[in-house]
Amino acid sequence: MNTSPGITLRGQHRIGDRVLFNADLHIPGAQWTCLLGPSGVGKSTILRLILDLETGGDFNGSIAATDGMPLAGRISYMAQSDLLLPWLSVLDNVCIGARLRGVAPDADRACDLLRRVGLSDHSGQKPASLSGGMRQRAALARTLFEDRPIVFLDEPFSALDAGTRADMQELAAEVLGGRTVLLITHDPAEAARLADQITVMSAQGTQNWPTPETAALREINAAETLACQARLLSYLRGIAA
């Protein structure tokens, strides 16, 4: 794995005559940043801008890695939609990145990841036979399999029940240790548990929110985790009103 750099994004994004956001965002290297804010404020657009994907608007600003190197080829991305290829098996979907690059995939590692996301018994099935939560876990396994120094996760646990969500949070925190992770979430509890940095995005811009003093990954029911969650939820409800 290459060194995991930080990322800075500064500038304004417009859709036609409307300003979607003004952002001054710093994503620290080798840490988890959780990005929260009201729906429609531009959180997923931030990911797409850094990935150099179409956003439907115009960005005037700068995006750079802190090590001065290009970001292309160093980011693994899990979108809100699972984007599984329907004609491939679950296992082949996990390995698709390696195959597209002309590299022999590590089948043992892929199978181990499927075991850890609870899909060993479904590795040969096509995505159409899976539930929404199972598809999301398959997409998570594919993202973890890519083993990139930078990882973007756009609401990666949203389709999961509470117990499975906690399990997948713990798996991701373990596998992605030392990576630069940007996680978009609407869940203050998730941010309070996982984040080294919490960034809140609103129409006025971006700001960092205090995290608990304890290190991530935090216990779900720890007093400092619950206190951070409660304060963050109250603030988010206010800016979304």
pLDDT for 106-148, tens place per residue? 999 999 999 999 999 999 999 999 999 999 999 999 999 999 9
**Residue 85's closest CA among 73, 103, 97?**
97
Q: How many other CB atoms sit within 10 Å of the CB of residue 99?
A: 12
pTM: predicted TM-score of the whole model, two decimal places: 0.95
pLDDT for 154-211, tens place per residue? 999 999 999 999 999 999 999 999 999 999 999 999 999 999 999 999 988 899 999 9
Indicate the pairing of strand 150-154 with strand 180-184. parallel
51 prior amide bond cis, ω within 30: no
Strand order in the sheet with 18-27: 18-27, 7-15, 58-65
List Cβ neighbours of 6 (8 Å cut-off, separation of 6 or more). Answer: 26, 27, 28, 29, 65, 66, 180
Which stretches of 152-187 are DSSP H helices? Answer: 162-175
Give CA separation, 43 vs 34, 113, 186, 213, 235, in Å.
11, 28, 10, 26, 17
CATH of domain 7-240: 3.40.50.300
223: pLDDT strictly greater than 60: yes
Instruction: Compute the distance between CA of residue 74 and CA of residue 151 in angstroms, rounded to an integer.
Output: 8
Indicate the pairing of strand 32-36 with strand 197-202. parallel
